[in-house]
Amino acid sequence: MNSVDNPAKGDVVMRRALLLASITLLLLSAGCGGAPASSPATEVLPAPTETPAPVTVPTVMEVLPTPTPVPPPPTPTPIPVSGPTPAPDVTAAPTEEIEIPMVAIPAGEFTMGNDAGDDDEKPAHTVFVDAFEMDQFEVTNEQFQAFVEESGYLTEAEQAGESFNWRAFAEAKPKHPVVLVTWNDAVAYCEWQGKRLPTEAEWEKAARGMEGFVYPWGNEWATEKANTEESGCRGTTIVGSYPAGASPYGVMDMAGNVSEWTSDWYEAYPGSSFRSSYFGKKYRVIRGGGWFSEAHLVRTTERSASSVELRNDDVGFRCVR
């Protein structure tokens, strides 16, 4: 039991001294974060033999040290988060007009199709095509970005809330062909430019010329003239990176890099006996093959097709007018 609780031993002065001592101990104990002392006061403060001098009760400021100011917490360092490549900032207006060179394709007949090719390429037949101009290069990321900035257009993938869209492949690749665009996305861009997608016949004529080449540059395959599976790039390259692979009219990347949308439905050629469940007004023709395609799939007469909703990382487009 504490002496403060048992005042029978000692006079009033003694009780006051013991009370003050107990308060002091309590304050000191509180200042260090511990519990009050529990040992008898007689072991700490022996009874005085004479009347003690008056004791001044210390204030809290006299017992507790002045607290040291707490510095503000440090600014946290951002921790990199793994995951998909963030989309690039497309909010800034372009600093300069982007040049889009076009190549003139003269009016005239040419041979379309290939009797030695796949069934849907037969028969070879003569087609007359009016004069037109074609983009020398596939539509690039920076060109498509200018379109969405000015028009506010959202691709069909973005409208569906998909993060896997054209922006995911456009970062730091302004002059690579835009990919992950549907047929409708391509049409929207062409119309914004005052242009349109090429017909299948226009595309093939621009690719093979009057000579009827198997590949844009000639009849023999050459790995160094196109970005295909054989080149080992495993992705798109800057448009025009293979100038030796240009078509007879000087149009670039008509074999490889990305496959290209055309405006036509996938149908049998006139005079063909070949039938396919894919024929009809179901699928749009895609031409040229992409970086993932093997050599035989980038021939100038090779035909492919897909639904208008297709969006892939090796499919893009170019415009004509």
Please check whether residue 105 is in contact with residue 140, taking contact to mean a CB–CB distance below 8 angstroms. no
Q: At 82, list the tokens.
A: 């793994």
Q: Which of 285, 274, 231, 228 is nearest to 253 (CA)?
A: 228
pTM for the whole structure:
0.71
Q: Which of 137, 100, 130, 114 is nearest to 246 (CA)?
A: 137
> To which H or E segment does residue 237 belong?
none
Lowest mean pLDDT among 9-13, 123-127, 162-166, 194-198: 9-13
* Count of CA atoms in the C-beta half-sphere (13 A) of 93: 5
Domain segments of the chain: what residues? 3-63, 102-316
DSSP state letter for 296: G
Q: At 288, list the tokens.
A: 């040229």
What is the predicted pLDDT for the residue at 90?
33
**Overall CATH class of domain 102-316:** alpha beta
Q: Which of 249, 252, 253, 279 is nearest to 266 (CA)?
A: 279
- Secondary structure class of 224 (helix, strand, coil): helix
Single-letter amino acid code for the residue at 267: E
Interval 150-195: pLDDT, tens:
999 999 999 999 999 999 999 999 999 999 999 999 999 999 999 9
- Secondary structure class of 287 (helix, strand, coil): strand
Q: At 204, list the tokens.
A: 């093939």
**pLDDT tops 80 at residue 236:** yes
What is the predicted pLDDT for the residue at 31?
37
Interval 31-77: pLDDT, tens:
333 333 333 333 333 444 444 444 343 333 333 344 444 344 444 33
DSSP state letter for 115: T
Report the alpha-carbon distance of residue 7 to residue 255 in Å, rounded: 107
| Distant-in-sequence, close-in-space partners of 172: CB < 8 Å, separation ≥ 6 | 88
- From the number of C-beta atoms within 10 Å of its C-beta (0-12, 13-18, 19+), residue 74 rates as exposed
**Centroid of chain to Cα 235:** 15
The pLDDT of 240-268, averaged and rounded, is 98
